């Protein structure tokens, strides 16, 4: 049997890079996507290849329909199969009604929702022996503790409805669909020493930022056979933000 294959969108940095490297250690061949930072993507593919697994970096904008529809086919052409999709790429516009623009709204919907939907549907068609679709949502999709994140929170909440619906369609095919809802995780997007750091720590039960490993470990479990009876779930890894 050939090795299982996973796609991790936005896998060149942050949470996505940690997920890609963790799944490689679990035995998956990995395709990551990125948009701007080819050098960062190369570092991740090198780390994956160092584990003995195959790696592919694809420049693919999750907000672009043409890129979305081509992604799964590119990976199946290169690796011959698909077993797991992790939709991790996401936009985080910040601003309230006084400053938010139509472009902020459209860009966020395109990447955080439409792109995830197209990639998930394409992946489901390509998964011939069951599979795992894992969407990286956010604790802010369930609880909104700060102003300025309404668009982001709406898209991450929307992923839960999408996953619940798709789980009904795909359960009989042995494909599970789940959302992980991280709390604040220390990355370039949301640095622990950044402007939102203190406000976020103050609403956590465990008053510190999580690490990318906290999410990668959970994805590893959800991508494995050990999670085969979990589907249509929104699963918090959030330091108690939603407690």
Q: Which of 34, 92, 94, 152 is catalytic?
A: 152
Q: Site residues for ligand NDP, window 115-154 (CB under 6 A)?
A: 136, 138
Q: Where would I find the H helices in 110-223? A: 116-126, 150-170, 197-201, 212-222
Which one of 4, 5, 7, 12 is in contact with ligand NDP (CB under 6 A)?
A: 12
Distance in Å, CB of 57 to ligand NDP, minimum: 10
Question: Of 59, 47, 6, nearest to 28 (Cα)?
Answer: 6
Q: Site residues for ligand NDP, window 174-193 (CB under 6 A)?
A: 182, 184-185, 187-190
Sequence-separated (6 or more) residues with CB below 8 Å from residue 67: 60, 61
Among residues 168 and 218, whose Cβ is nearest to ligand NDP? 218
Q: Which residues of 119-134 are buried (b: 16+ CB within 10 A; e: fewer)?
A: bbbbbbebbeeebbbb
Question: Of 195, 64, 225, 51, nearest to 131 (Cα)?
Answer: 225
Residue 41 CA to residue 24 CA, distance in Å, equals 15
- Asked if 229 is an active-site residue, the reply is no
Residue 18 CA to residue 34 CA, distance in Å, equals 14
Which one of 4, 5, 6, 9 is in contact with ligand NDP (CB under 6 A)?
A: 9
> Distance from CA of residue 62 to its chain's centroid?
11
Q: Site residues for ligand NDP, window 82-121 (CB under 6 A)?
A: 88-90, 92, 111
Distance in Å, CB of 109 to ligand NDP, minimum: 12
Among residues 39 and 98, whose Cβ is nearest to ligand NDP? 39
What would the x/- binding string for ligand NDP be over residues 23 to 62, using CB under 6 A?
A: ----------xxxxx--x--------------------xx
| Beta strand residue intervals within the chain, DSSP E | 5-8, 29-34, 55-59, 84-87, 131-136, 175-182, 234-237
Among residues 63 and 145, whose Cβ is nearest to ligand NDP? 63
Distance in Å, CB of 222 to ligand NDP, minimum: 15
Distance in Å, CB of 196 to ligand NDP, minimum: 9
Residue 92 CA to residue 152 CA, distance in Å, equals 6
Among residues 128 and 153, whose Cβ is nearest to ligand NDP? 153
Strand order in the sheet with 84-87: 55-59, 29-34, 5-8, 84-87, 131-136, 175-182, 234-237
Distance in Å, CB of 111 to ligand NDP, minimum: 5
Binding-site ranges for ligand NDP (CB under 6 A): 9-16, 33-37, 40, 61-63, 88-90, 92, 111, 136, 138, 182, 184-185, 187-190
Which residues are known catalytic residues?
Answer: 152
């Amino acid at each position: 049997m050939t090795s299982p294959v996973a796609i991790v969108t936005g896998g060149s940095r942050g949470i996505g890079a940690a997920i890609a490297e963790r799944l490689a250690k679990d035995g998956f061949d990995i395709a990551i996507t990125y948009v701007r930072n080819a050098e960062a993507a190369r570092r991740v593919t090198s780390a994956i290849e160092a584990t003995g697994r195959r790696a592919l970096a694809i420049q693919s904008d999750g907000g672009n329909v043409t890129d979305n529809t081509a992604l799964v086919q590119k990976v199946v052409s290169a690796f011959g199969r698909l077993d797991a999709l992790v939709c991790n790429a996401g936009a985080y516009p910040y601003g309230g009604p006084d400053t938010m623009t139509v472009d902020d709204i459209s860009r966020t919907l395109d990447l955080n929702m439409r792109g995830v939907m197209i990639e998930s549907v394409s992946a489901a068609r390509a998964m011939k022996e069951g599979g795992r679709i894992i969407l990286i949502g956010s604790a802010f999709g369930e609880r909104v503790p700060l102003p300025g994140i309404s668009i982001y929170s709406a898209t991450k909440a929307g992923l839960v409805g999408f996953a619940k619906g798709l789980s009904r369609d795909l359960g009989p095919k042995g494909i599970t669909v789940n959302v992980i809802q991280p709390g604040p995780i220390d990355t370039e997007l949301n640095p622990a020493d950044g402007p939102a750091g203190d406000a976020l720590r103050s609403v956590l039960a465990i008053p510190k930022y999580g690490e990318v490993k906290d999410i990668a470990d959970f994805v590893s479990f959800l991508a494995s056979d050990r999670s085969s009876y979990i589907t249509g779930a929104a699963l918090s890894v959030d330091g108690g933000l939603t407690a």
